[in-house]
């Protein structure tokens, strides 16, 4: 598979945070996110985003996530998608999301 085909095979969708919970059992500080990707597609993810985000501030926020990777177990928790972010100048995660409301489940292109 050439690099462009590999990129196209990666499913990146927009989802809305329905619920965010502290995840003290994780080895690295994290937050459990319950995400709505539209059409009844709800998934959980563990995200190491505690430097800039608090659980109570995240519900309603739209973010991008990779949705076609296999689930991973993190401290007994099933993480079903990979939330995307970029590092700030200190190397801590800043979430990626649309700058205007869009329908849940929209694909990145």
Question: What are the pLDDT digits (tens) for 47-97?
Answer: 999 999 999 999 999 999 999 999 999 999 999 999 999 999 999 999 999
The percent of residues in the chain predicted with pLDDT above 70, rounded, is 100
Query: What CA–CA distances, in Å, run from 81 to 1, 19, 30, 40, 42?
Result: 23, 15, 14, 15, 10
Q: pTM of the entire structure?
A: 0.94
Angle at 72 between CA 68 and CA 73, to 5 degrees: 155
Is 31 within 8 Å of 65 (Cβ atoms)? no
**CATH code assigned to 11-95:** 2.40.50.140
């Amino acid at each position: 598979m050439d690099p462009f085909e590999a990129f196209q095979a990666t499913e990146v969708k927009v989802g809305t945070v329905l619920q965010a919970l502290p995840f003290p059992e994780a080895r690295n500080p994290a937050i459990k996110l319950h995400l709505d990707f539209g059409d009844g597609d709800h998934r959980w993810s563990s995200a190491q985003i505690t430097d800039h985000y608090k659980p109570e501030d995240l519900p309603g926020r739209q973010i991008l996530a990779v949705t076609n990777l296999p689930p991973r177990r993190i401290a007994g928790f099933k993480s079903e998608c990979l939330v995307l972010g970029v590092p700030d100048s200190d190397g801590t995660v800043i979430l990626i999301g649309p700058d205007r409301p869009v329908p849940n489940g929209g694909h990145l292109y």
